[in-house]
Amino acid sequence: MDELKDQGSKDNRKWMIPLIVLLLILAGVVSYQWLIPRTDLEVRTVYHEATGGGGTGGLIHVNILLTNWGNREINDLYCRYAVTIVNGSEMAHHESSSMILQRKENAELKLDFVGSQYWEYLIEIEISFTGSSGRISKDLSYYTFEETMNIVFIERIG
């Protein structure tokens, strides 16, 4: 009888260690997702050329998608972006006003102008915001390539 009792307690101990490991992993994931303040702003810049006939120029779109992947809101989000011809003049620019991005929320900024697919452009983005770790500022620069119709640039700031 005592042998059966000892065998039952050994079987219970076999399940205790995996259960404790699983609970520790779950506690770590919960802490990372909700308890530990984390700032994580994704800046996704999409460049697209809609060419006109015979290389005379067409509409060029620059879309910037700002997504807050962190677990705290982002305040006082300021974004200035401009497109210039490499070694040339500014084609277009825009400044966004102070925005607030809640957790998992995004904002889309658009810039359209008439240009040529045969020019190389420089896309410059200036971003500053207040997150869980204080004030953060970042300057991003991207170059397009001649005769490239679509380009996507992705940056994480945090």
Rounded distance, CA 134 to CA 10, Å?
52
Query: pLDDT for 92-122, tens place per residue?
Result: 999 998 899 998 999 999 999 988 877 899 9
Q: Structure pTM?
A: 0.76
Residue 57 main-chain phi, psi, to 5 deg: 110, 160
CA–CA gap between residue 127 and residue 141 (Å, rounded): 11
Which tens digit of pLDDT belongs to each residue from 41-82?
999 999 998 866 555 668 889 999 999 998 889 999 999 999
Residue 62 and residue 79 in contact, taking contact as beta carbons nearer than 8 Å? no
Q: Are strands 41-50 and 134-143 parallel, antiparallel or unpaired?
A: unpaired
d(CA 66, CA 50): 23
**Amino acid, single-letter form, for residue 27:** A
